[in-house]
Amino acid sequence: MIVVHPEVYRQYAAGRNRFTLVLERRFSDSFQIEPPSRYEAWDTVTAEPGQSLTDVLRVSVPQESDVLVVAHDDRLLTAPAIEVGPHRTVATLRAGTGPLALDQLRGLVGTLEKTNPHALGLTSTVLSEACAEAGGLTIEETLTGAVAKVTFAEPTWSRTDTGAFTPGAVQCALAGSQRLDLESASTSVVGQIAVKGWCVVRTRVPDTARCSEIFDKLSGLSHYPLVLTVENGMVADIKATESGSATAATALADLLSEDPGHAVVTGLEFGLNPDAPRMPFNCEANAVSTGRAVASAHVLLGSLPRTEFQLVLDCSTSSVMALGGTTPIAGVGTATAPAPRRRMNRVIAANCGCH
């Protein structure tokens, strides 16, 4: 049984008196709500097969509610803002499939409990200030020798998500990211970028079957790197450094040939959430997780809704530094050193019970 603790979710603003957990039918027997003193009323709504989130909101969820949706069906993960209304706060968790789906959901629900919007805001501020002082960035990967340079007059942030849920629209519950826009006229990206790690495939269309197909073909990147050669802000060449990433290289090349818009490097997205796990399915946790770093780095290809897909490719083995600098501000080299273990000397004496 997965227990939901609305009491501890700091992402929802104070002031609402009702909490509603919306579950896809397949998960209805696997969740329960720990009664919260924060809300006067709380309930669980089960979405029947074929229902959309719009259907559920219209019939089963009162206004002035904080809502958490857990589902795999895409129809339950999005709804027009007009259906949400100005007084409901709706956040969604995408579930995976297979025998580990519930274990994965348990980890994602745990992430919600641990996520601290204030701490994410502080990390975002530090990163913004570091980029503002940098005058540009270097993305460097030691094993492949890949080095890329990003130059800009000043950094332009096109998205900052520090975890505070807002009413009026459906939002992903897995928060903690900041996106540097790389499409402005004063910005250039050139060089080689090594991508490795679990990716995210975003799409502009409701049916994500193709999305999942692309993700599966790119899953080899979780173990093997791919090197992208970037010229004038576009991917000009794709090289699999090991046989394990050959399928990913082919899938990416096919997608770029279908629509050259997918070859445009549109952003550098930083993950800020140290409590988010990386998942072996198409999940936003892969974009917001810091991994072992203070902040993770991901290169974005394509831009919704101009392109059908947007790829969030992890640079888990790369360091991001100020242009001309040597100190990483994101990625490898920014991990906080673990606290040293206190060594306990073993003492053997006549009154010691260990001998």
pLDDT tens figures, 177-199: 999 999 988 899 999 999 999 99
pLDDT for 336: 59
Helix (H), strand (E) at residue 154:
none
- Say yes or no to pLDDT of 75 above 90: yes
Confidence of residue 205 (pLDDT cuts 50, 70, 90): confident
For residue 355, being part of any structural domain is answered with no
SS3 percent helix, strand, coil of the chain, rounded to 5, is 25, 30, 45
The answer on pLDDT for 138 being more than 60 is yes
pLDDT over 80 (residue 82)? yes
228 and 325 co-located in one domain = yes
Give yes or no: residues 270 and 131 share one domain: yes
Q: Which domain covers residue 319, as residue numbers?
A: 119-331
Q: How many domains does the chain have?
A: 2
Q: Same structural domain for residues 82 and 102?
A: yes
Identify the CA nearest to 119 among candidates 160, 162, 166, 165: 162
Q: Do the domain assignments include residue 337?
A: no
pLDDT of residue 333: 96
Burial class (CB in 10 A: 0-12, 13-18, 19+), 178: buried
Bigger pLDDT: 231 vs 350? 231
The two structure tokens encoding residue 282: 């198409």
In a domain, 83, yes or no: yes
φ and ψ at residue 313, rounded to 5 degrees: -105, 120
In a domain, 347, yes or no: no
Q: Is the dihedral of CA 94, 280, 285, 305 positive or negative?
A: negative
The pLDDT of 13-25, averaged and rounded, is: 95
Residue whose C-alpha is closest to residue 224's, from 316, 109, 353: 316
Dihedral over alpha carbons 167, 304, 116, 30 (to 10 degrees): 80
pLDDT surpassing 80 at residue 173:
yes
Last residue of a domain, one of 61, 90, 114: 114
| Domain final residue pick, 57, 79, 114 | 114
Report percent pLDDT > 90 for the chain. 86
Does residue 82 sit in the same domain as residue 11?
yes
- The answer to whether residue 85 sits within a structural domain is yes
Residues 76 and 135 in one domain: no
For residues 146-164, give the mean pLDDT.
94
What does the pLDDT average to over 243-272?
96
Residue from 59, 57, 62 nearest 82 by CA: 57
Instruction: Kindly tell me if the per-residue pLDDT of 148 is higher than 50.
Output: yes
Are residues 180 and 289 located together in one domain of the fold?
yes
pLDDT confidence bin for 352, thresholds 50/70/90: very low
Q: Are 127 and 330 in contact (CB under 8 A)?
A: yes
Is 80 exceeded by the pLDDT of residue 35?
Answer: yes
Give the pLDDT score at 345: 46
pLDDT tens per residue, range 300-342: 999 999 999 999 999 999 999 999 999 999 999 997 544 444 4
Residue range 284-300, pLDDT digits in tens: 999 999 999 999 999 99
CA distance readout (Å), 215 to 200, 270, 273, 282, 342: 7, 20, 22, 6, 43
Same domain, 102 and 240: no
pLDDT exceeds cutoff 60 at 30 = yes
Q: What is the pLDDT of residue 340?
A: 45
| Mean pLDDT estimate for the chain | 92
Same domain, 110 and 130: no
Sequence-separated (6 or more) residues with CB below 8 Å from residue 272 = 120, 123, 124, 127, 162, 176, 177, 178, 288, 290, 295
Q: What average pLDDT does this structure show over 231-240? A: 97
Same domain, 176 and 316: yes
Alpha carbons 172 and 178: distance in angstroms, whole number: 14
Q: Give the mean model confidence (pLDDT) for residues 130-136.
A: 93
Q: Residue 339: inside a domain, yes or no?
A: no
Three-class SS state of 350: coil
Structure token digits, residue 315:
């640079």
Give residue 346's pLDDT.
Answer: 43
Q: Distance (Å, rounded) from C-alpha 224 to C-alpha 313?
A: 13
End-to-end Cα, the chain, rounded Å: 43
pLDDT at position 135 is 86
Using the 3D structure, point to which of 53, 82, 114 is the last residue of a domain. Answer: 114
Residues 125 and 36 in one domain: no
Query: Does the structure show a pLDDT above 50 at 256?
Result: yes
Distance of alpha carbon 287 from alpha carbon 298, whole angstroms: 7
